[in-house]
Amino acid sequence: MANQSPLPGLFGALSDPTRFAVVEQLAGGPASVSELAAPHDMAGPSFLKHLNVLERAGLVTSVKVGRVRTVSLVPDALESIEAWVKAHRARWEHRLDRLGAFLAEDEKS
Amino acid sequence: MANQSPLPGLFGALSDPTRFAVVEQLAGGPASVSELAAPHDMAGPSFLKHLNVLERAGLVTSVKVGRVRTVSLVPDALESIEAWVKAHRARWEHRLDRLGAFLAEDEKS
DNA sequence: GAATTACATAGCCACATGGCTAATCAATCG
DNA sequence: CGATTGATTAGCCATGTGGCTATGTAATTC
């Protein structure tokens, strides 16, 4: 049982407003570091840290060509989040159904 | 536009392994504080803080009856996460399609 | 009514996080 | 070549976060 879920890490990466906004921007297509940084009134290095967090979390990849680094989304990451949420919401709703059934049953008595 | 997205807050709540596990446990149905705390080798007050974080984030509600507090999931929260992920993944995949089309077009020349 | 149980509050501490400036490196432009 | 631009590295600092112990309070149980 050496297997820790990677999801808390993904969530952590998305828990910062700056990083969250970056992901939203990237959903519109890849962008350079400076394009991504532009909307955020923040010093370059501070912003870079955020990008590194996103990349270490696996939400984002990047390639550097010449002096420009182009960053893009990794769809698998979003997919795994979606799968997890879907599964747990489903379990929960199933439970609510059983509760509803129980209450209805109770009502009859 | 005074409207900040609530999602980073939700993600923050899920970014801690303990809290993440609590949510997973709660997907199986409501539970008391001590039932939730049991699997986590951690002092009571430390664990309580986590529950409070989850509650402030809106992922969880609780009612105290007698001396026992019962905690349950708030499905809306998971739902809003799912909706966000779905939307952004969709945008991204649409983009990939356009890229594919572009590359195919390029191939012809 | 005394002891136990189930949470809760207060306060402390170590470390992580998020921001900054200054300085560097490498590619491109004039 | 020299200047500029885009990204990066190296520190520094304030604040937040996650853990603890000690103590408190309210509901049950014996």
pLDDT in tens, B59-91: 999 999 999 999 999 988 999 999 999 998 888
Is B89 a domain residue? Answer: yes
Q: What is the pLDDT of residues A20-67, one digit of tens each?
A: 999 999 999 999 999 999 999 999 999 999 999 999 999 999 999 999
Domain membership flag for residue A2: no
Determine the structural domain holding residue A20 and report its residue range: 7-108
Nearest to A47 by CA among A32, A30, A66: A32
**Residue B4: pLDDT band with limits 50, 70, 90:** confident
Confidence of residue B97 (pLDDT cuts 50, 70, 90): low
A30: exposed, middle or buried (Cβ count in 10 Å: 0-12, 13-18, 19+): middle
Distance CA A10, CA A105 (A): 42
pLDDT band at A71 (very low <50, low <70, confident <90, very high): very high
B67: CATH = 1.10.10.10
Average pLDDT over residues B47-55: 97
Measure the CA–CA gap between B93 and A69, rounded to whole angstroms: 22
pLDDT category at B109 given cuts 50, 70, 90 is: very low
Q: Measure A42 CA to nearest chain B CA, in Å.
A: 18
Q: Is the dihedral of CA B97, B99, B104, B109 positive or negative?
A: positive
User: CA of B97 vs C1' of D11, distance in Å?
Assistant: 44
The integer distance in angstroms from the CA atom of A15 to the C1' atom of D16 is: 14
* B chain contacts of residue A27, beta-carbon cutoff 8 Å: 88-89, 91-92, 95
**From residues 53-92 of A, which are strand C contacts by CB within 7 A?**
53, 66-67
Alpha-carbon distance values, A77 to A21, A55, A61, B41 (Å): 16, 11, 11, 30
pLDDT of residue A94 exceeding 80: no
Q: Which residue of B has its CA nearest to A78?
A: B85
**Residue A1 counted as domain residue:** no
Q: Is the backbone of residue A31 left (phi > 0), alpha (psi -120 to 50) or beta?
A: beta
Residue B1 located in a structural domain: no
Give me the percent of chain A exceeding a pLDDT of 90.
71
Instruction: Report pLDDT for A59.
Output: 96
Res B47 pLDDT > 70: yes
The answer to whether residue B9 scores a pLDDT higher than 70 is: yes
pLDDT, chain A, mean: 87
Q: What's the domain count of chain A?
A: 1
**Domain assignment of residue A23, yes or no:** yes
Are B75 and A93 an interchain contact pair (Cβ–Cβ within 8 Å)?
Answer: yes
